[in-house]
Amino acid sequence: MRRTPKSQEASGKLLSIWGDLQICHKRFSDGRKVPDFIAEYAKLPLIPPYLQPNNHQFTSGVNFASAGAGALTDTNQRKCAEYPTRRIEIRKEDIKVAATEILSNPEIHGLKDVVGAGNLKQRIVKQKIQVAAKIRVSIRSGTVLIIPTSSSLPKNHVALFILGDSLFDSGNNNYIDTIARANFWPYGETFFKYPTGRFSDGRLIPDFIAEYANLPLIQPYLQPGNHQFTYGVNFASAGAGALAETAQGFVIDLKTQLSYFKNVTKMLRQKLGDAEAKTLFSKAVYLINIGANDILSPFTTNSSVFQSLSKEEYVGMVIGNITDTIKEIYKKGGRKFGLSNLGALGCIPGMKVLVPGITGSCFEEATELAKLHNAALSKALQELAIKLEGFKYAKHDIYTSSSERTNNPEKYGFKEAEIACCGSGPYRGIDSCGGIRVVTEYELCADPSEYWFFDSGHLTEKAYKQLAELMWSGTPNITGPYNLKALFEA
């Protein structure tokens, strides 16, 4: 059954926003702004900015506001940098004395008020910390604005770096030339209320892990303007494999993702300095999910790989690239890794539809190859733990946790665990969700939260949340030898 988005179903409410920095989406506030609350009261999602990449779902409204804008075209027509602002450069050794004096006695210096950027004001006044960066003091309209030119990280700061495939891709494929995209409706319909590039109706596992770790949503590496990497960054690419040959030319393979990570390490060393960057890398958690596309590729393409390699040799190549990536991250300072093995890949709707006769059976060859992969991954991680000093890992047994739920869906709050919410054909296993790929006709369920699978190969937000909870705080029989919570606290 085809259906319209909930935003259209719910009495046709629409919110359009015009204005200046009081309501713009680069929020000049410590939190939400007036339109955010208005949207909440009207039972609407957060209204996205008009210029946000891939924001094409306007049925709930859109935000056109721009910081500094006026009703007159002449207002703020020049760039901010051209304003007549007087800047005072304070030497590093003068920060404590000069900044504290200005903050403590603003009126003596002819100032009306003092406002601080972030926690800097509190740090200087209450803690009198020694900052290893210059401070710019901009004086305009009787107000001092203190802006740090480089930031010191909080004491217990733990970043999250993400590598992988469509289970983790938060939007990188939006910015490459590929058909492996999910930047169209109904992807993203339940949580974000617009497509973000995530292959689900809402959030993915890394989004929940970031939430549990008190981090913001980790942004895609290729997202324009994303240069704030101190919280981490997401390199994952839908369709990617550990092998460069998997979907070659249409994805960001694991080796390329690693090269992006190395670029980020250089930028962070320049921004933070070698010592602080080293601390960030060693405390960070590296979340990796890769291999499913490598395992499925021999069965979904005209591959002749098993004519020249045994299945064990093929799996060995996949695992070898994964362990090589871990070793390279380790060389850059990484010590804490979160991984998952592969589920019963032959039982996803997109593989069951390939079984002749549509008997309900799984594509057993794919599942058996996934089992070989899982055994080899466990062995490889155990060997790394012996060889690499300080190496810690959390491996989630997604094969067991997902099979438990697909075999007992009602026990875990699902009504359907064989048929996808979105797609066409038997089990909705034909990859037509959204209707812009090869097959344009598709069906869409009324409530994704009742389904385990959202499309032919990916899960619903509800399913991902349950897996994320197990990865975060699961016991050693399902996530071990550490869980992610323990790694973030280590």
Q: Tell me the catalytic residues.
A: 166, 455, 458
CB–CB of 151/159 below 8 Å? no
CB–CB of 242/254 below 8 Å? yes
Rounded Cα distance between 433 and 439, Å, is 9
CB–CB of 188/202 below 8 Å? yes
Distances (CA, A) of 456 to 69, 306, 353, 440: 45, 25, 9, 14
Count of residues making up the chain: 490
Task: Give the tokens for residue 365.
Answer: 């060859």
Q: Where are the alpha helices (DSSP H) in 69-218?
A: 95-104, 120-122, 205-212
Q: How far is CA 241 from the centre of its chain?
A: 18
Please state the φ and ψ torsions of residue 257, each to the nearest 5 degrees. -60, -40
Looking at residue 127, the DSSP 8-state letter turns out to be I
Distances (CA, A) of 127 to 118, 122, 132, 136, 189: 15, 7, 15, 20, 45
Strand 135-140 versus strand 143-148 pairing type: antiparallel
Task: Give the tokens for residue 480.
Answer: 């071990």
Rounded Cα distance between 246 and 239, Å, is 8
Q: How far is CA 267 from the centre of its chain?
A: 20
